[in-house]
Structure 1
Amino acid sequence: MPQTLDAVAVRGWCALALDALGRDREAIDAINVYPVADGDTGTNLYLTMESAAQAVEAVFAAYPEPPVYDGVPPTADVVRAMAHGALIGARGNSGTILAQLLRGMAEVVAAGDGDLAKALGRAAAAAYLAVAHPVEGTVLTVATAAAKAAESADGTPAAVAQAAYAGARAALDATPSQLAALGRAGVVDAGGRGLVTVLGALVQALSGEAPVVRGEAPVPVPGPAQDCPAEPAATGPAFEVIHLLEADDAAVDRLRARLDRLGDSLVIVGGDGLWNVHVHVDDAGAAVEAAVEAGRPYRIRITHFAQQAAVEPPKEQVQRAVVAVVPGEGLAALCAEAGATTVLTRPGEAPASGELVEAIRRAHAREVVLLPNDAELRHTAAAAVEQARAEGIRVALIPTRAAVQGLAALAVHAPERRFDEDVVAMTSAAGATRHAELAVAERQSWTMAGVCQAGDVLGLIDGDVVVIGQDLAGTARTVLDRMLAAGGELVTLVLSADVPPGLAATLEAHVSKAHLAVDTVVYEGGHQGVPLFIGVE
């Protein structure tokens, strides 16, 4: 069992923290009353930690095994991956702060400093700086107490982690007396409760044993209000806006000042050109506009608090729903019009299983059909299905490998049919749809069609490169001819917003002239990562 915070210990910590947050998620959600009583703190912490853990596993998977190397990547690479994964996957106020805590720790560990107390201190300081208006009695208080307790500890990193955990638990138990909203509800801070869970996993990763706190009092749960001054209920802003942002430091400083005037609960974490922005506002459009002026925002998520609190709990379950993973805004809108709940992805940012489970829950149905629309998501989707089934939801996974297969499945979806019959029909439609895409090579590499150079247009059919061309239109025509050589009745084209004007008309004209009796439908996919998706049914 590791006794230092090396690469193996960080990997174990992430896995243990994810397991622990999975067990505690519902309990943490249940005590979530500050800053907004939206009951999702545990879920947000879990999704953030899942993204961090997946990033760490990706580093281990990419590192050479013996006899070349020992299969263990450098600790610096692992902690940076952990911090980056948490940053891009951070959800909600609590997840955003957790991402900054992990980033602060990573800065110390990646520099080769094995002082765990120093790493925890940097984490707490970084989290305070990320929050526009820090409030005591929250996760920030718990993080600071953990760091102070760690500073006073002697011995191994495991002993330091145990001291930090004990200090965090004591601070957590005191939060109801520090924050009126917690005192009135008779609960501890939900974000702090989640941090205690994460620190407990750190103790276990370093020592091999679950943490022990002498004289530990049980964590309060919702119950009678404690003696606390009464305060009028606060209404608060109507929307939560969270997104990733590519921008320089100066632009982020201006954005921070502008968002601080627009709303509250402002947390901006990150650095080196990539940031995660979280804010509560009444004017969500103004917040997004400010982000566009600062840089390039993406993965924008807007939640209406009143709708979440007043509409979702009493919402009656529907019998059946479809959840579809889609690579662009245009496809998301198209699938939503067809009645599907969508999960929007970005290039290089595959959704975690927790995000898919959340979408399945959000569909609020007794029966759910999941369309991953990506061969690389098969394991993630399978894990999400198992978790949803454990929660009592009947879920069928149709292994669609491309968005055009998902569109074909949606086209024949009929909720009035028996569930099994509907799944069979959707699976058959997806399986009968050959799929292709056009991509632009980023570097010289070997393919099944030969050697490509950076900037070449690649035509992939069913996942394999079959054409290397110099322009989009010519390569697309060649791909279409190859696909239609075996027959077909309908061609589906999904074009990115970045393709040259007139490409759709050019390809439609080619199909109608070269392949009689074949119909063509065209959809705008938005910014979908590749110029063109093609489906042939």
Structure 2
Amino acid sequence: MPHELQPQPTDELDAEAVRTWSSLALAALGRAREDIDAINVYPVADADTGTNLYLTAESADLALTAAFGKVTEGTAPTSLDQAVRAWAHGALLGARGNSGTILAQLLRGVAEVLGEQPDEPGQPGEPVPGRLLARALTRAAQEAYAAVAHPVEGTMLTVAGAAARAGEAAAAAAGSPADVARAAYDAARAALAETPGQLAALGRAGVVDAGGCGLVAVLGALWQALSGQAPAVEPVPGRAVPVPQPPDPCEQEADGPAYEVIYLLEASEEAVGALRERLDGLGDSLVVVGGDGLWNVHVHVDDPGAAVEAGVVAGRPYRIRITHFGDERRRARGARAQRAVVAVVPGEGLAALCGEAGATTVLVRPGEPLAVAELVDAIRRAHAREVVFLPGGAELRPAAAAAAEQARVDGVRVAVIPTRSAVQGLAALAVHDPDGTFDEDVVAMTAAAGATRYGELAVAERQSFTSAGICQAGDVLGLIDGDVAVIGSDLTETAEAVLERMLGSGGELVTLVLGPEVPDAVAERLEAYVLHGHLAVDTVTYRGGRYSAPLLIGVE
């Protein structure tokens, strides 16, 4: 956790105060994370709201710290405009889950107002008055409501709205920024206490809204940053009103979509408007935040592939995360799933395919290395006591091992299966048995991956020496188990030569993963080729989607 800055009673909101606010908010969410996770029952009882809010705030704080750089004595501070915009941008990039996405939009609303110059001419650089902070809180609430497809009262939206109204009232009474922050904080706490009576799922479970609880922590940090006074330490509210509680707090929860899909999207505002309509028809809990060409999309669906494809139609989606909620998390509030699979995959179609099989996925794009922190986040998103990690490539194994070590410190049992190709990961995922023992499952998945030979077709970018001879730029390279085995000029013919060599030592199943530019006719021809020469071998074909290789081949 970053160093927690000590607040000073400046009673003004400048860049340094925003930095302090960010640090205090992150610390507050870190302290409350597990307790907030435990009361998370809406919109899905997946016990991760506190974690999602913390990770979103962490991403925002890292971006803000980077904007300041290494501040030394005599260094001019970052401007307020730079600070709030960096903070909001970091939250947008790192937003996690429904609550984290809404928090990112709240910070964007704050940045839109505080990033402006003061209203009065001739006063640039003057301390931000209370009324400007109140206007920022109001814009934040408005932006958050607008980002949610179907706003529901009794959530963090309600808490944000109450805070904004109280802030406006304090500003109208000539309150200082600290007065506005205190009024907003007190109103948010009062609104949070009322949420069980506004939302049936909360009332049945006897808890307040988890996202709203996190927002109260963030607003408490704002007041502390401006006043120098720390809010009284309070336990995370649980049972807030006397309501009947069934034996299983979530047993009356309506069945909803099985997957959470999140991705960043580069697209125009017009394209995002059409995307909202498309996603709204696919699922629920739709939140689209951002602007200026960059958006963070969050939705719960039963067809994650369709949600990703909708993003492809709208623009360029990346950092795609698909999470299966899991029956265990639906049955037990606050309980971790016993076991989950995390898979690193080189293609959007593969990400959707693995997501449908129940895996938490991390999309890797050519030429872009994955940070260990991103892999650790994937393990956290799996929200399980035991995790089987499929790195998908030998070059990713060191990062996967480092991520596994970090997760073990958090008490998660992690096994990294040494997959060297996505097709080996598919083979391992096919035999995954969440009901068996962890060791048995790992052994079976490792054996399935090891029994799968893998091939790949690529196009040479330059002349070079290979194990199969000298290739020229534009040649089609057929790789088997990582080594160039065939050099050709036609993709299909080269693929046939690779298949013949791979099937020479036997096999029962061929898996073909086609890249985005490869026509269906290539798959049809290769399937016929296998059928003609190897009657007992079955063939399955998938679309790898954008960022996947032209062709991946697996032989089991």
SS of 2:359's equivalent?
A: strand
Is 2:132 the counterpart of 1:127?
A: no
Please point out which of 405, 416, 424 is paired with 2:424: 405
Instruction: Provide the rounded CA distance (Å) in 1 between the counterparts of 2:448 and 2:78.
Output: 44
Report the Cα distance in structure 2 between the residues aligned to 1:262 and 1:520, rounded to whole angstroms: 33
CA displacement 1:167-200 (0-9 Å, x = unmatched): 5532332114654338967755432321344466
Match of 2:399 among 370, 375, 379: 379
Q: How does 1:217-366 map to 2 (within 5 A)?
A: 218-219=234-235, 221-223=237-239, 225=241, 239=256, 244=263, 248-250=268-270, 252-253=272-273, 267-277=287-297, 295=314, 311=331, 322-327=341-346, 331=350, 341-346=358-363, 348=365, 353-361=376-384
Aligned residue identity for 2:32: D
Aligned residue-pair number:
494
Matched residue SS, 1:24? helix
State the partner residue of 2:542.
524
Is 1:26 matched up with 2:34? yes
Please report how far the alpha carbon of residue 265 of structure 1 lies from its aligned counterpart in structure 2 after TM superposition: 6.4
Match of 1:157 in 2: none
Gaps of 5+ in 1: 155-159, 228-232
Distance 1:333 1:260 in 2: 18
User: Pick from 106, 109, 115: which aligns with 1:104?
Assistant: 109
Matched residue, 2:161: 141
Q: 1:416 to 1:96 in 2, by over 3 A?
A: closer
Q: Which amino acid aligns with 1:269?
A: V
Question: Cα offset for 1:355?
Answer: 3.3
Name the CA distance, whole Å, in 2 between partners of 1:420 and 1:38: 26
Contact 2:207 2:240 in 1 (8 A): no
> Which amino acid is 1:533 matched to?
L
Shift of 1:311: 3.6
CA distance in 2, matches of 1:34, 1:196: 17
C-alpha distance after superposition, 1:78-102 (max 9, x if no partner): 9767645644654443222112123
Contact 1:495 1:522 in 2 (8 A): no
Whole-Å Cα distance in 2 between the matches of residues 87 and 426 of structure 1?
A: 36
TM-score by length of 2: 0.61
Return the alpha-carbon distance in structure 2 between the equivalents of residues 469 and 93 of structure 1. 49
The residue type paired with residue 53 of structure 2 is L
Check 1:345–1:327 CA distance in 2 against 1; reply closer, same or farther (3 A cut): farther
Question: Residue 495 in 1 paired to residue 495 in 2?
Answer: no
- Answer yes or no: is the 8 Å Cα contact 1:367–1:419 preserved in 2: yes
> Would the aligned equivalents of 1:266 and 1:280 in 2 still touch at CA under 8 Å?
yes
Per-residue displacement from partner, 1:369-422 (whole Å, max 9, x unpaired)?
22132444753674356436634x533122434312323545776889975576
Per the TM alignment, residue 333 of structure 1 is displaced from its structure 2 partner at its CA by 7.6
In the other structure, the counterpart of 2:389 is: 370
Q: Is residue 171 from structure 1 mapped to residue 191 from structure 2 by the alignment?
A: no
**Partner Cα separation in structure 1 for residue 56 and residue 513 of structure 2:** 31
Distance 2:377 2:488 in 1: 39
User: What's the RMSD between the two structures over aligned residues?
Assistant: 6.4
Report SS of the residue matched to 2:378. Answer: helix
C-alpha deviation, 1:524, in angstroms: 1.0
Q: Distance in 1 between matches of 2:344 and 2:498?
A: 25
CA shift at 1:356, angstroms?
A: 2.5
Once the 2 structures are TM-superposed, how far is the Cα of residue 270 of structure 1 from its aligned partner?
A: 1.9
Q: Deviations over 1:128-187 (max 9, x none)?
A: 443465748734236637976799787xxxxx6x77764553233211465433896775
- Distance of 1:284 and 1:414 partners within structure 2: 22
Distance in 1 between residues matched to 2:334 and 2:286, nearest whole Å: 30
Residue aligned with 1:138, SS: helix
Query: Structure 1's 135 and 284: CA in aligned 2 closer, same or farther, altered over 3 A?
Result: farther
* Cα separation, partners in 2 of 1:430 and 1:18, compared to 1, 3 Å: farther
Cα distance in 2 between the residues matched to 1:353 and 1:178: 36
Contact 1:165 1:203 in 2 (8 A): yes
Kept in 2: contact 1:238–1:304 (CA 8 A):
no
Contact 1:56 1:82 in 2 (8 A): yes
Instruction: Say if 1:21 and 1:198, in contact at 8 Å, map to a contact too.
Output: yes
8 Å CA contact 1:326, 1:343 repeated in 2: no
Contact 1:497 1:527 in 2 (8 A): yes
Cα 1:254/1:328, change in 2 over 3 Å: closer
Q: Distance in 2 between matches of 1:78 and 1:343?
A: 33
TM-score (norm 1): 0.62
Secondary structure at 1:373's aligned position in 2?
coil
Q: Is the 8 A contact 2:40 2:209 kept in 1?
A: yes
Distance 1:27 1:383 in 2: 24
When residues 456 and 203 of structure 1 are mapped into structure 2, their CA distance, relative to the original with a 3 A threshold, is farther
Alpha-carbon spacing, 1:330–1:243, altered in 2? closer, same or farther (3 Å): closer
Q: Runs of 5+ in structure 2 lacking a partner?
A: 8-12, 118-123, 244-249
**Paired residues of 1:326 and 1:403 also in contact (CA < 8 A):** yes
1:326 to partner: Cα distance: 3.7
CA–CA separation in structure 2 for the residues paired with 1:423 and 1:502: 37
Distance 1:505 1:126, change over 3 A: closer
